[in-house]
Amino acid sequence: AYQGRAALVVRPATTEEVAAVVRLCHDAGVALVPQGGNTGLCGGSIPDSSGRQVVLSLTRMKRIREIDLANETITVEAGVILQQLQEAASQAGRLFPLSLGAEGSCTVGGNLATNAGGTAVLRYGNMRELTLGLEVVLPDGRVWHGLRGLRKDNTGYDLKHLFIGSEGTLGIITAAVLKLFPGPHSTGTAWVALPTPQAAVDLIGHVRSLCADRLTGFEMMSRQSLEFVLDHVAGCSDPLQGPHPWYALIELRDTVPDAPLDLLLESGLGHAFETGWVIDAVIASNQTQAAALWALREGISEAQNHEGPSLKHDISVPVSQIPAFIERTDSALQQAFPGVRIVSYGHMGDGNLHYNISKPLGHADAPFKAQEQAIMQVIYQMTSAFNGSISAEHGLGQAKPDAAAHFKDPLEIELMRAIKHTLDPTGLMNPGKVFATGLE
């Protein structure tokens, strides 16, 4: 989706090498574009077309430096692939909970730079909540050695939170101390059909009151989203009879081996049937069936690409407002752009919808793509009207700085610029990202 042309790509293997490259670029006035797994959806790791920017790839920094079981922490370098981190935690009998579709190729550095979310935020939080310490190469080449594994440290501003989510515009994250959690020994997974998004809101409230922290995932998707997957993802089939307007994938986890999570799901869903929140349901009877249900959910992102351009809108509103947002935005879009196909799905428990738009059936790509800005305006204006965010988890990159400048409070942009000018006065760290042109 984004093209660029780098003067060169540098692949340092240690923090000292990263610092040396940054110092050289700083002294030479050359802009740097940090890059991890390059799986971002907003072009945050792609250089501009000038051919003058240097891509600094963290992919050779792959060491897992330390696992401290008693402190429940793991210290990893930025180039470690998320799946490798998950496996290292599991081999140590622990869980590192961050999980998202790109986990086979995204890097921990990129997860930190974008404050990645994914499907377990409901229980464990974003990358921000999973991080205790950072090592960062600052724009002038100095190294901040902040790799502390402390859960309590009230000695002034919590500096790591400036760099988490800064998308490489304030410095280069080279390592982190991350939290580990007790590994789950029981999992319960259900796929349910719902009449409305409001039923999903009612259901998640009920399940959470019943299961508390054992509720680790609650993903919602529209029938349109499921139909794309059934049409384009091999090996996928509809778990229930007949089409239904909405679906939810519910996951429970417990550290107790053989915990009766299926019974908990059955009793929770029994009440949901009585109240009409649920039309139909299936509970996975083994891990294979559970994985097949997750494949339906994780397949949506890929499946959209088979239906022409997918105009992505990663928005969040208060959970209670999701039904009204969907109703009002769907009708506003159909009125202005009749026939557009709305692929509405996402992390219901976080109030985070991937509200993606595909072209009307039979229409050509180009005229639909030409409506991208107008469609985006309708969706972001409605998001704003619900006091939501125009980028819940994917960040701003080069795709959304203008929208952020338009929809965010000007005072927030001013404070962000003050921080940017303090840490990167020469503006060489990932220029053109996060800030709109002229606002850096």
User: What are the backbone dihedrals phi and psi of residue 67, each rounded to the nearest 5 degrees, phi first?
Assistant: -120, 125
Q: Which residue shows structure tokens 């891990």?
A: 287
Residue 121: strand, helix, or coil: helix
Nearest-5° Cα angle at 88, 167 to 256? 110
CA 68 to CA 169: how far, in whole Å? 31
Residues contributing to the site for ligand S2G (CB under 6 A): 41, 101, 301, 312, 346, 354, 356
Interacting residues of 370 by C-beta distance below 8 A, sequence separation 6+: none
Nearer to ligand S2G, 253 or 312 (CB): 312
Give the nearer residue to ligand S2G in terms of CB position, either 101 or 141.
101
Nearer to ligand S2G, 346 or 397 (CB): 346
CB of 101 to ligand S2G, least distance (A): 5
Q: Supply the minimum distance, in Å, between the C-beta of residue 237 and ligand S2G.
A: 20
SS3 of residue 416 by DSSP = helix
Least distance (Å) from ligand S2G to the CB of residue 210?
25
Smallest gap from residue 89 Cβ to ligand S2G (A): 21
What is the rounded distance in angstroms from the CA atom of residue 300 to the CA atom of residue 410? 35
> How many Å apart are CA 288 and CA 183, to the nearest integer?
19
* Shortest spacing between CB 308 and ligand S2G, in angstroms: 14
Per DSSP, the three-state class of 158 is coil
Q: Pick the closest to residue 201 from 312, 350, 314, 329 (CA basis).
A: 350
Sheet of 280-283, strand order = 280-283, 186-194, 246-254, 215-222, 341-347, 352-358, 314-316
- Report the residue number, 138 or 300, with the smaller CB distance to ligand S2G: 300
d(CA 276, CA 234): 33
Residue with smaller CB distance to ligand S2G, 124 or 277? 124
Closest CA to 74 of 91, 58, 59, 96: 96
Q: Which residue has the tokens 């998202």?
A: 100
Smallest separation, CB 40 to ligand S2G (Å):
10
Cβ 394 to ligand S2G, closest distance in Å? 6
304 or 321: CB nearest ligand S2G:
304
Of the pair 94, 354, the CB lying nearest ligand S2G is at 354
| 313 vs 420, beta carbon nearer ligand S2G | 313
Interatomic CA distance for residues 116 and 96, integer angstroms: 13
Q: How far is the CB of 129 from ligand S2G (least distance, A)?
A: 18
- Smallest separation (angstroms) from ligand S2G to the CB of 231: 16
Record the tokens describing residue 232, joined without a space: 């384009």
Q: Nearest to ligand S2G by Cβ — which residue?
A: 301
Rounded to whole angstroms, the Cα distance separating 120 from 97 reads 7
Q: Which is nearer to ligand S2G, 312 or 420 (CB)?
A: 312
